[in-house]
Structure 1
Amino acid sequence: MQISDYIDDIARSTGFLSRLPMPARHFSGHDGSLARASAMFPVAGLLIGLCPGLVVALLSAGDANPALTAVLALAVLIGVTGALHEDGLADSADAFGARGGREHMLEIMKDSRIGTYGVLALLISFALRAIALTIILSVIGGWNTLLVLLAVAAASRTAMVWHWNVLPPARQNGVAASVGAPDQDARTLALVVGGLVCVILASLACGLFPALFGLALLAAIASLWTSLVRNKLNGHTGDTIGATQQLTETVCLTALALLL
């Protein structure tokens, strides 16, 4: 692959995962497949995480309240992604919280309405991330928190690639199935890039042990969630992929906050 191919893949991955504007030339003649481009999900995560990270760094430089800064940063993050992953978390929570078999769960995921389990999942996820960011910001400062946000953004989107690759599609007409699952080379590259980026950036921000511990918990929750999805649905959906990002991001931020 040439450098231009990697740049195309970064733009396509970022365009898929966020609302950040990408130059149209990177999509000209492209069939929409992410089988190869998904390898650059960790890099797309860096671009996405940079937005709330800069908010944190700039506000903290002005001695803004850490709690309010954390909430504003999360609001920016949700705006950048268009709540894409939050939607997956809510739909997954509703489906897995309901009583019923596989087909009933898939029907719930297709329903645009949100239920009690979905609301509670979003509230818990947002609260944990906001509190964790407040603690991290208060202890290590704005610029180090920027590094943490970048590290977690890259690693959590790496987890998406892994979840997507190891499970077959639960239905053939879903969004995840339509754009193609990551191939083996894409998964391997994403794991290497995402893992290294997470460890390096998080180590610079808060030390090697917290970085490794946070990454280990992130991997553990991704594995547990993937096993649950396999047992219940026999495959992934776009919602379970989005939920993977939310679960791993929340767990990693919470772990780092607990260790500081």
Structure 2
Amino acid sequence: MQIKDYLDDIARSTGFLSRLPMPASRFAGHDGTLSRAAGMFPVAGLVIALGPCLLVVLLSGLNANAALTILIAMCAMTGVTGALHEDGLADSADALGARGGREHMLEIMKDSRIGTYGVLALVAGFALRGVALTILLSVSGGWNTALLMLAVAAASRTAMVWHWSQLPAARQGGVAASAGAPDDSALTHALLCGGILFALFVTLASGPAAALLGLAVIAVAARQWTNLVRSRLHGHTGDTLGATQQITETLCLTALALLA
């Protein structure tokens, strides 16, 4: 692959995962699939998280309240992604929490309304991430917290690619199905890129032990979530991809904060 191909893939994956405007030239002649571009999901995670991370550094440099700093940054992140991953988490929680068979769960995922399980999942996820990041900011400072946020943004989107590659599409015509499955080289690129970025940034911010812990938590969480989705839905959807990102990010940040 040439440099242009990598830049195309970064733009396409960032455009898929967020509301950030990408150059139209990067999509010229593109068929809309992400089979190759999924390999750059970790880098797209860095691009998506960069603005909120800079907010954390700026506000902490001004000695702003830690909890409000994190809340502002999390709201900014939600705005950048358009709550894409949060929507996936809520829909997945509603579907898997409901009684009924596979087809009933898939119908719930298509419903734009949110139920009790979805609300609880969003509240729990937002609260855990907010408290964890507030602890990390109070203990480690703005720059180190920004590094940790970037690391988790990259690794959690790597987990999405792995989840995507392990399961067939649960239904035809869905967002994930229409985007195609990551090919073998894309999966390899995502795992290497996401793993290296995570290990580097977390080691710089909190040390190698924290990096090993974080990788282990993400790996176990992604595997367990994928096994659950396989047993209940027999395949992935766009919602389960988004839930993968939210679950791995939340659990990793929580683990890092517990040891801070």
Q: Does 1:53 align with 2:53?
A: yes
Deviations 1:155-195, CA, capped at 9 Å, x for gaps: 00000000001100000110100010101110111001000
Moved more, 152-161 or 178-187: 178-187
Deviations 1:73-120, CA, capped at 9 Å, x for gaps: 100000000000000000000000000110000000000000000000
> Equivalent residues in 2 for 1:181-196 (5 A)?
181-196=181-196
Structure 1 residue ranges without an equivalent (≥5): none
Q: Residue 201 of structure 1 aligns with which residue? A: 201
- Quick one: distance in 1 between partners of 2:24 and 2:189? 25
Q: Residue 110 of structure 1 aligns with which residue? A: 110
Which AA in structure 2 matches 1:6?
Y
Q: Residue 73 of structure 2 aligns with which residue? A: 73
Q: Aligned to 1:235, what secondary structure does the other structure show? A: coil
Aligned residues: 260
Q: Residue 134 of structure 2 aligns with which residue? A: 134
- Quick one: distance in 2 between partners of 1:130 and 1:228? 26
TM-score, with structure 2 as normaliser: 0.99
Give me the identity figure in percent: 71
Q: Aligned to 1:170, what secondary structure does the other structure show? A: coil
Q: Does 1:243 align with 2:243?
A: yes
Q: Aligned to 1:196, what secondary structure does the other structure show? A: helix
Which AA in structure 1 matches 2:245?
Q
Q: Aligned to 2:32, what secondary structure does the other structure show? A: coil
Deviation at 1:211, TM superposition (A): 1.3
Runs of 4+ in structure 1 off by over 2 angstroms are none
- Quick one: distance in 1 between partners of 2:134 and 2:213? 19
Q: Residue 210 of structure 1 aligns with which residue? A: 210
Q: Residue 34 of structure 1 aligns with which residue? A: 34
- Quick one: distance in 2 between partners of 1:49 and 1:204? 18
- Quick one: distance in 2 between partners of 1:139 and 1:150? 17
TM-score, with structure 1 as normaliser: 0.99
Q: Residue 12 of structure 2 aligns with which residue? A: 12
Deviation at 1:51, TM superposition (A): 1.4
Which AA in structure 1 matches 2:255?
A
Q: Does 1:149 align with 2:139?
A: no
Q: Does 1:160 align with 2:175?
A: no
Deviation at 1:49, TM superposition (A): 1.2
Which AA in structure 2 matches 1:148?
L
Which AA in structure 1 matches 2:122?
L
Deviation at 1:52, TM superposition (A): 1.1
Which AA in structure 2 matches 1:18?
S
- Quick one: distance in 1 between partners of 2:212 and 2:20? 30
Deviations 1:218-239, CA, capped at 9 Å, x for gaps: 1100000000000001100000
- Quick one: distance in 2 between partners of 1:26 and 1:218? 31
Which AA in structure 1 matches 2:42?
P
- Quick one: distance in 2 between partners of 1:29 and 1:155? 30
Structure 2 residue ranges without an equivalent (≥5): none
Q: Aligned to 1:255, what secondary structure does the other structure show? A: helix
RMSD between aligned alpha carbons?
0.5
- Quick one: distance in 1 between partners of 2:43 and 2:29? 23
Q: Residue 226 of structure 1 aligns with which residue? A: 226
